[in-house]
Structure formats: C-alpha cells, structure tokens
Amino acid sequence: MKKILTLLILLCSVAVFSQRTCDTNRKLAELKNSVPGFAEHHHDVMEYIQNPNNDQANFLRGANAPAVVVTIPVVFHVLYKNATQNISDAQVNSQLAVLNNDYRKLNADFNSVVPAAFRPLGADMEIAFCKATRTPTGATTTGITRKSVNNSFNFQESYYLAAGEPAWDPTKYLNVWIGRFNDPQILGFAYLPSAAGSAFDGLCIGDQFFGTTGTASAPFNKGRTGTHEIGHYFGLEHPWGDDFSNCGSSANSDGVADTPATDNPHYDCPSFPTNVNTCTSSANGAMFMNFMDYVDDACMAFFTAGQKTIMQNTLAGPRLSLLSSNGCGALGLNEVEAIRAIAVYPNPVSKYFMITSPQIAIDEVEIFNTMGQLVKTQKLSLANNVINIEELASGTYYLRIYNQGQFLKSDKVIKK
C-alpha cells in the first residue's frame, strides 16, 4: 500500500510539473491589493493599449509608413545557487534566437503547428531583441550578469533586490532574471505595461524553462515560456482574460478581437479543433496554439494581428522609452518627430496618467481646466512621469509641457 501511495504522489508531481503555470496574474493581483490606486491605473492602461484606434500609436506607425522593426535591448541576469544553474552563454543565446524568430513570425513550426484556418491571422510583431552592449553608465557589456546566491534565496520575491540583481534602467532595457523558483509549479512571470519602469519590471523565469539547451527541460525546452511571458510585458493577457472567470464576465476577455474567447487554459497538446473551453462553439474551436495559452512549447506557434495592435500601442505609450534606448543601438524616433512623440497615457484616466518623452528632455507640465484656469503644475524628472489628478473633478483638462521654460507640446487628458 505504501509503495502504491508513493507512486501516486510521484505521478501527481510529474503531472503538475508538466503543465504550464504562469504567475503573472498573481503578481498583478498583489500590486492591485498593495499599491493604492494601482487597480484603477492598471484598468486605464489596459483600456488604452487595447484600443485599436489609439491616436498616439497611429501617429508613430504612420498611415502609410513602411514597416519598422523596433529593437529592444535585453539584459539577462543569471542568479544561481549551484554550478548547474549558472547557465551557459549558449543557453542564453538560444532563448534570444527563439524570441527573434517568434516575434518576427520566422519560427519554422508556424505552418506545422498553426491550423490552416488560423494561419491568415498570424502576424509579424516587428519586434527584435538584442543583448545589451552598453550598461546604463555607458560601459561595455556582454548583456549577461551572473551572481551566486545562497540556497535560501527566494528567487520569486527577491530577484530584483540587492540580494539578487537590481534592474538596469527598466525604461531603457528589458530585464530578464533567470533562476530557480522555490515553487516548482511556476515557470515564469512578467509585469504588464501598467508597471512599466518599476524596479521589479521585466521577466522572471526558471532556468529549466529558458531557451532550448542546457538546463531547459521538456516539454518546456523550446523557449516558448520566454515568448509567452514577454507577451505579457508588451500588454497581452491570457486568452481567458486576467482571471479564470465565467464566459461573459468583465474579466473574461483579453481585449483581442481575433482570439476566440475561452474560460480556461489549454494544457499539453490538444487536438484541433476543440471547443472544450470556448465561450462559443465553432468549427475552428479554441486558438490553443497561440503563444498566450498554456499548451506545451511544441504546440504553440503564433501571435495574431490583434495582439500585434496591443504591442504597438504599448510601444507608443507605457514602453515608448525603449524606442530611444542606446543599449544595443536600437532604432529610435527621428529628431523631427521627437517633440510630437511625447506620450500622454492612459487617456481617459481615473486617478493618474503618465508622460513619457523618449528623446527630448522635459521638466514641467501645467494643467488647465476648460475655462483656462491653471489647476496644477508638476515638475518632471523621469523618463516615465506619474501625474496624479485624483483631486481634480471629472472633465477635460489641457496640458502644456515645457523644458527649461521653453514650451514644447500641448495635449489633453480626460478625467473620468
């Protein structure tokens, strides 16, 4: 009997380990519960980036502009408890290669994994990734940092603290922390754009689920956990929304029109088509092979055009400052557009909005009501500046943005 019980425990452990678990929603819930005003801010940011008619994003794209691939500088922080966890440069490079293939729709398995019915929806995200070549202070770097941590180190909670490795400027770099989670069920998590610029902002991932070689373990050894989590970083939610909710509830939506609504994740490698978790049954069923579902690495293979719109809106607002990073010679906005590209988001807003200026210095904003009365002035000193207007009445307000007394740009924001 004891042997049978032991065997059952082992089988259950394997079953749990073999299913994808993303901790992004739990981390988001922590912020909503612990940071005053964050829940409203998150709602406003998601509403902003999920708007397909986002004016700021449309300006940056340009109605007839040629495709421009945005290059994102990445720094990889390896936090290891033993020599095995101190993963090789080759494993890091394998993950980078997967990201560059997946985000450009160059992955070799696109046609074999994505059913013909869904292939027309697949999209090139026009996002590329490079290892940082410069530190925030301008020193030369390989784009990889390494640090030995003790056996009691809590990777999930302390990765960005002094005990781990503090983030490089999160407004200019995508920080990726690789380590070993205390909870073996967690593969990784990343923060959505509502947390852009925070000290903990970026991707946190288990070394066993990172890249395609070294310590990467099947069925999560094709680098797709990184692809999935960075999807969150650029604003994508799971197909079932930000919670496991019944179909039709406000939480049961990822804000993407071309991903069929579901009420639960899919695991392992389902057979196409399946309507087990769909909110509305159809001939094609669920898009379980989308990068944002929970299937095994070998069974996910694409992003959609609707998901691309959200990523572009994110790069036009909460993560706009990445476009001007010189971390690895990334493409930026040209000088003529620098002032016009100053972003004010989200809009409309409940409590506070952000002002981001990626290429030109700004140091002050004035806020006027519709009668022309100055109601608030605030100094600006960061790449992402938080402007709290909770005390103002609902309505439309006009902004004037300055640098050293010189007027640069006017804009408006609507207070809900």
CA distances (Å), origin 298, targets 140, 222, 301: 36, 7, 8
Q: Is 339 exposed, middle or buried (0-12, 13-18, 19+ CB in 10 A)?
A: middle
Nearest C-alpha neighbor of 211 from the set 225, 191, 229: 225
CB 380 within 8 A of CB 363: yes
Active site residue 165: no
* CA pair distance 8, 3, nearest whole angstrom: 9
* CA pair distance 376, 250, nearest whole angstrom: 34
* CA pair distance 210, 90, nearest whole angstrom: 11
* CA pair distance 359, 335, nearest whole angstrom: 8
Which one of 229, 337, 366, 391 is the catalytic residue? 229
Which amino acid makes up residue 237?
A: E
Strand pairing partners for 206? 179
3-class secondary-structure state, position 53: coil
* CA pair distance 201, 63, nearest whole angstrom: 32
Q: What share of the chain is helix, strand, coil (3-state, %, to 5)?
A: 25, 20, 50
CA atoms within 13 A on the CB side of 312: 26
* CA pair distance 134, 121, nearest whole angstrom: 37
| Tokens found for residue 124 | 């090139």
The DSSP symbol for 271 reads: P
3-class secondary-structure state, position 142: coil
As annotated, the active-site residues are 229
